[in-house]
Amino acid sequence: MGRCSELRKTEKLKKIQLLLNQKNLYEDQYEELLAVTGDWKSNYTDYLITEPINFVEELKRVPEADYELCTALLTMLVKEEIPENASDKTFVDHKGLLILERMNEILSVGVREDESGRYGLSCGIK
């Protein structure tokens, strides 16, 4: 992985962690995150396994999802109509939070925070 990719990873991680530290998250914050990180998936349906889209089945994949699938699922939450049996705000906020937590987990591998609160890659050098 090149240095640009590594810096990008830490930048994404910081943005995700800022959202995770907020008390209330809104759908537009997920959309903004995907836009500023370059992770908006206009082809998100290519990543999905159900047709018509079944939110419950798709979101069961979050615990094992890689970063790309997480961004596709988050895009799905922003773009698609929420199931009638779920409160729009509650459903999107809760499921979006689960996806953000998984994205944070994935990006945190190999990244450490220094004393100043900045992130860098842990390269095993002491």
pLDDT digits (tens, 9 = 90+) for 40-71: 999 999 999 999 998 889 999 999 999 999 99
Mean pLDDT to the nearest integer, 72-83? 88
Angle at 23 between CA 21 and CA 28, to 5 degrees: 90
Band (pLDDT 50/70/90 cuts) for residue 94 is: confident
46 occurs within a structural domain: yes
72 occurs within a structural domain: yes
Three-state DSSP at 21 gives coil
35 occurs within a structural domain: yes
22 occurs within a structural domain: yes
93 occurs within a structural domain: yes
Res 55: pLDDT: 87
Mean pLDDT to the nearest integer, 81-96? 67
9 occurs within a structural domain: yes
- For the chain, what is the mean pLDDT? 81
CA distance 87 to 67: 26
Domains contained in the chain, number: 1
CA distance 118 to 53: 39
126 occurs within a structural domain: no
CB 55 within 8 A of CB 84: no
For residue 28, the enclosing domain spans: 3-121
